[in-house]
Amino acid sequence: MAEPVKLFGVWASPFSWRVETALKLKGVKYEFIEEDLTNKSDLLVKYNPVHKKIPVLLHKGKPICESLVILEYIDETWKGISILPEDPYERAIARFWAKFIDEKCNHALWTACWSKDNEQEKAIEEACEFLKTLETQLKGNKFFGGETIGFVDIVANFIGFWLGIIQEAVGLELLTVEKFPNLCKWIDNYVNCPVIKANLPPRDELLAYFKARQQPPTGPKY
Partner 1 sequence: MAATTTSSDVKLIGGWPSPFVMRPRIALNIKSVGYEFLQEQLGSKSELLLKSNPVHKKIPVLIHGDRPICESLVIVQYIDAVWASGPSILPSDPYDCATARFWAAYIDDKWFPSLSGIAKAQGEEAQKAALDQVVEGLVLLEDAFVKCSKGKAFFGGDTIGYLDIALGCYLGWIRVTENMNNRKLLDEAKTPNLVTWADKFCSDGSVKDVMPETDKLAEFAKVLMAKFRAPPPN
Q: Is 46 in the site for partner 1 (CB under 8 A)?
A: no
Q: Examine residue 55 and say whether the peptide bond preceding it is cis (omega within 30 degrees of 0).
A: yes
Q: What is the dihedral of CA 37, 58, 145, 89, to 10 degrees?
A: 120
83 with 151: CB under 8 angstroms?
yes
- Check binding of 65 to partner 1 (CB under 8 A): yes
For residue 69, state whether it binds partner 1 (rule: CB under 8 A): yes
Residue 64 lies near partner 1 (rule: CB under 8 A): yes
For partner 1, which is the closer residue by CB, 134 or 165? Answer: 134
Report whether 195 contacts 13 (CB < 8 A). Answer: no
Cβ atoms of 154 and 21 within 8 Å: the answer is yes
Q: What is the distance, to the nearest Å, from the Cα of residue 64 to the centroid of all Cα atoms in its chain?
A: 17
CB of 110 to partner 1, least distance (A): 16
Q: Which is nearer to partner 1, 29 or 62 (CB)?
A: 62
Q: For residue 80, with 0-12 CB atoms within 10 Å meaning exposed, 13-18 middle and 19 or more buried, which class applies?
A: exposed
Q: Is 100 in the site for partner 1 (CB under 8 A)?
A: yes
Report in angstroms how near the CB of residue 10 gets to partner 1 at its nearest. 20
Work out whether 177 is an interface residue with partner 1 (CB under 8 A): no
Binding footprint of partner 1 on the chain (CB under 8 A):
50, 59-60, 62, 64-66, 68-70, 72-73, 76-77, 88-89, 91-93, 95-96, 99-100, 133
